[in-house]
Chains A and B, each alone.
Chain A
């Protein structure tokens, strides 16, 4: 079956660092995505990992361990605008499809 787990909610302080974890069990694996979604808005693409290791993109980094079925999103120097839902998604299938399996998302609240 397909199962993606993330914490439901997290709270962090402005200027701090927060790590959002994601574990997955899928029938196949062809990459993992992180998306950010502000309330009432479209999810926006943050990062993509297909090989083990860390991908860094400004204040955001994403890590993947395929053997453990584990990923995390690291947000540094938190800003109030980072308050949003963060979605972990796995592309389980190769071939001709763009289908993603999403977790239910982690709602991050950044406090002053």
Chain B
């Protein structure tokens, strides 16, 4: 079974631009979450989708948005990029609807550099 796939692996953007990142979850997984990873802050939760509905959102500005499609694939968008948005963006999928012991399965991430 294929794992979580994120594209692209690397991105370099300029301040003020916008970017869209893509995530394909493991087949059969309907829960998709996004995390931002930076050396100082670790993994910070961005948002979570289940069956095309956002059911949880982290403490990030409105420039960060996402969506999920009917095939469970997800995208996240960051508008008006700032230097501080440079990070590794990780997508994770999960089998269970209601958490419990079902782990998150992470993709390799998209490394975003804002110059």
Are A97 and B55 neighbours in the complex by a CB distance under 8 Å?
yes
Are B100 and A100 neighbours in the complex by a CB distance under 8 Å?
no
Are A104 and B31 neighbours in the complex by a CB distance under 8 Å?
no
Minimum distance in angstroms from A23 CB to a CB of chain B: 15
Assembly CA distance A94 to B96 (angstroms): 12
Interface residue from B4, B33, B58, B106 paired with A98 (Cβ < 8 Å): B33
Q: Any chain A CB within 8 A of the CB of B101? A: yes
Binding-face segment, A10-18, A37-45, A67-75: A37-45
Contact with A along B85-113 (1 / 0, CB 8 A): 00000101010111111111111110000
Are A45 and B104 neighbours in the complex by a CB distance under 8 Å?
yes
User: Chain A interface mostly helix, strand, loop or mixed?
Assistant: loop
Residue of B with least CB distance to A43? B106
Binding-face segment, B14-22, B42-50, B64-72, B75-83: B42-50
Instruction: Give the interface size class of chain B.
Output: 20 to 34
Interface residue from B35, B90, B101, B106 paired with A31 (Cβ < 8 Å): B101
Once A41-B108, A96-B97, A102-B42 are accepted as A-B contacts, the answer to whether A33 and B103 lie under 8 Å apart by CB is yes
Are B105 and A45 neighbours in the complex by a CB distance under 8 Å?
yes
Contact with B along A80-112 (1 / 0, CB 8 A): 000000010101011111111111110000000
Complex A-B: 30 CB contacts under 8 Å: A30-B99, A31-B99, A31-B100, A33-B103, A35-B106, A41-B108, A42-B4, A42-B109, A45-B103, A45-B104, A48-B101, A48-B103, A50-B101, A94-B99, A95-B99, A96-B55, A97-B56, A97-B98, A98-B31, A98-B96, A98-B102, A99-B48, A99-B58, A100-B104, A102-B35, A102-B42, A102-B43, A102-B44, A103-B42, A104-B41
Q: Which residues of B contact A (CB under 8 A)?
A: 3-4, 31, 33, 35, 40-45, 48, 50, 55-56, 58, 90, 92, 94, 96-109
Q: Which residues of A contact B (CB under 8 A)?
A: 30-31, 33, 35, 40-45, 48, 50, 87, 89, 91, 93-105
